[in-house]
Amino acid sequence: MIAGLALLVFLGWSWWQSRLPGSYDVMAYGAVDDGGGQPIAHHHFSVAALTGPTGKPDYSLTLTAEKAPVRLASGQNVKAWTFNGSAPGPEIRVRKGQLVQVTLVNKDIGEGVTIHWHGLDVPNAEDGVAGVTQNAVEEGGRYVYRFRPEQVGTFWYHTHQDASHGVKQGLYGALVVEPKKKPRGLDLALPVHTFAGHTAIGTHDDVWRRRVPAGTPVRLRLINTDSSAARFRFSGMPSVVAIDGAGITPTPLLPDEEIEIGAGGRYDVALPMPNGVASVSVVNSRAALVLSPDGTGDPPETKSGPVFDPGTRSTGSTGYAQAKFDRTFDLTISQKIGFLNGKPGRHWALNGKLYPNVPMFEVAKGDLVRINLNNDSSSVHPMHLHGHHVIVLTHDGKPVSPWSTDTLLMLPHDRYSVAFRANNPGLWMLHCHNLKHAADGLTMHLMYAGVTTPYRAGKSAHNDPE
Ligand code: C2O
Ligand code: CU
């Protein structure tokens, strides 16, 4: 009887204290982990001061978030949330070093909108995370983003306010940074998205055919904007040339070899256009792109093959083999029974703790940082660190051929070690890009010592990054 009462009191207390206030600092509950490094002197600085460059933009664009129907190639109409009336939103294609200015206007998205530049290491105040680096833009509001991309490659942009809902509804688009001297040939950014159950490349939810003269250099930039991994099959003998916006030594795919891209990830493939069909198909869907000199043809019947593993190919990227790390963090993802914001259930836990009592990794500018990631769950977690790209060092304890990534696909029970140079001060999210998982608490922050944010997350603050 007494034990029963005590349990009830304990449960009541656990429930009560798990509820998030209407407005809170995301740093208020985290447990600071310094990764075993040198103590850090704290000079306080605010996220809000870490803005992009001033001056006259080389490229400017206004993106208006608005509800609009989107017509898929099959004729299907879906209700969507769009940028400038389309989903995917307009492709942003800029050149390295240009000053880019994007003005976000929210016409009628009651939930609010922001724009996050996924994979681009922009200054922190331009990172677009509601309640962390800015307030969500409410209906009728606007926000100006400015940055100068120094990375060349394939990225994407998406809302980071209520992202699990907003991205699914269509608030995303492709972002390509070209080298200063643009290579010739056909270059297509291919954001893949599932609209109301219809998987599409762009808006093509069936076979999309394009006429391409034989011999044309072709580059295809595959972007997975969904919350689950997507698999791709090819014909025409492409090579993998980039992963997550970072070039690799061109690596020909083996016959039947497939590419699996985790949620949020990108792969670029390239090929010289053959005198026949070259194609890419999204496995388990009707969506495919067929290129041929006469604009006809079908994706060939191919059988399922092995999945491309960058860790076993020579990607040409140099790791931090002999490096001495300034800090080493461990991050274990598991599930735990408890209350998450008042909701009882089995929730994602980071180092055994439920959001918001998750670890915060503290670094100093210049640190070489290692993170040992451990997926101690039977689910897939594409882990995304904002503002940095990491080099993969080991997989399941064994050294790999290092490659650079910003969204690491972790299969059930995978263990990886990654490393990065802390060279972009601020407060950065580290979360699962299965955005449902993130909304269910699989999210935490990397903080530079001394950083503060004037923004607040929570219902009454109208900021909910996930
Ligand atoms: Cu593409 Cu924090 O997200
Ligand atoms: Cu996950």
State the pTM of this model: 0.96
User: How many Cβ atoms from other residues are within 10 Å of residue 293's Cβ?
Assistant: 17
One-letter amino acid at 442 equals L
Spatial separation of the C-alpha atoms in residues 212 and 274, rounded to whole Å: 9
Spatial separation of the C-alpha atoms in residues 70 and 81, rounded to whole Å: 9
Ligand nearest to the CA of 129: 1
pLDDT of 302: 77
Spatial separation of the C-alpha atoms in residues 121 and 117, rounded to whole Å: 8
Coil, strand, or helix at residue 321?
coil
Handedness of CA 277, 281, 283, 287 (dihedral sign): negative
Spatial separation of the C-alpha atoms in residues 156 and 38, rounded to whole Å: 36
The answer to whether residues 125 and 47 touch, using CB atoms and an 8 Å cutoff, is: yes
Antiparallel, parallel or unpaired: β 381-385 and 398-399:
unpaired
The answer to whether residues 438 and 7 touch, using CB atoms and an 8 Å cutoff, is: no
Residue 172 falls in which region: left (phi positive, over 0), alpha (psi -120 to 50) or beta: beta
Residues with CB under 6 A from ligand 1: 116, 118, 158, 160, 264, 384, 386, 429, 431, 433
pLDDT of 380: 98
Phi, psi torsion values for 69, nearest 5 degrees: -75, 145
Nearest CA to ligand 1 atom 3: 118
Ligand nearest to the CA of 386: 1
Taking the centre of ligand 2 as the mean of its atom positions, its distance from the CA of residue 443, in whole angstroms, is: 9
The answer to whether residues 53 and 146 touch, using CB atoms and an 8 Å cutoff, is: yes
Q: CA nearest 168: which of 225, 112, 218?
A: 225
DSSP state of 85: T
User: The tokens of 293 are what?
Assistant: 């000199």
Spatial separation of the C-alpha atoms in residues 160 and 23, rounded to whole Å: 17
The answer to whether residues 386 and 127 touch, using CB atoms and an 8 Å cutoff, is: yes
3-state SS, 208-249, equals EEEECCCCCEEEEEEEECCCCCEEEEEECCCEEEEECCEEEE
Nearest CA to ligand 1 atom 1: 118
Taking the centre of ligand 2 as the mean of its atom positions, its distance from the CA of residue 334, in whole angstroms, is: 10
Q: CA nearest 173: which of 84, 57, 66?
A: 84
Taking the centre of ligand 2 as the mean of its atom positions, its distance from the CA of residue 250, in whole angstroms, is: 30
Taking the centre of ligand 2 as the mean of its atom positions, its distance from the CA of residue 444, in whole angstroms, is: 12
User: The tokens of 344 are what?
Assistant: 């009882």
Atom of ligand 1 nearest to the CA of 129: 2
Per-residue pLDDT of the chain (466 residues; tens, 9 = 90+): 677 878 777 777 777 777 888 999 999 999 999 999 988 877 999 999 999 999 999 999 999 999 999 999 999 999 999 999 999 999 999 999 999 999 999 999 999 999 999 999 999 999 999 999 999 999 999 999 999 999 999 999 999 999 999 999 999 999 999 999 989 999 999 999 999 999 999 999 999 999 999 999 999 999 999 999 999 999 999 999 999 999 999 999 999 999 999 999 999 999 999 999 999 999 999 999 999 999 999 998 878 899 999 999 988 888 787 789 999 999 999 999 998 988 899 999 999 999 999 999 999 999 999 999 999 999 999 999 999 999 999 999 999 999 999 999 999 999 999 999 999 999 999 999 999 999 999 999 999 999 999 999 999 999 999 9
Taking the centre of ligand 1 as the mean of its atom positions, its distance from the CA of residue 272, in whole angstroms, is: 33
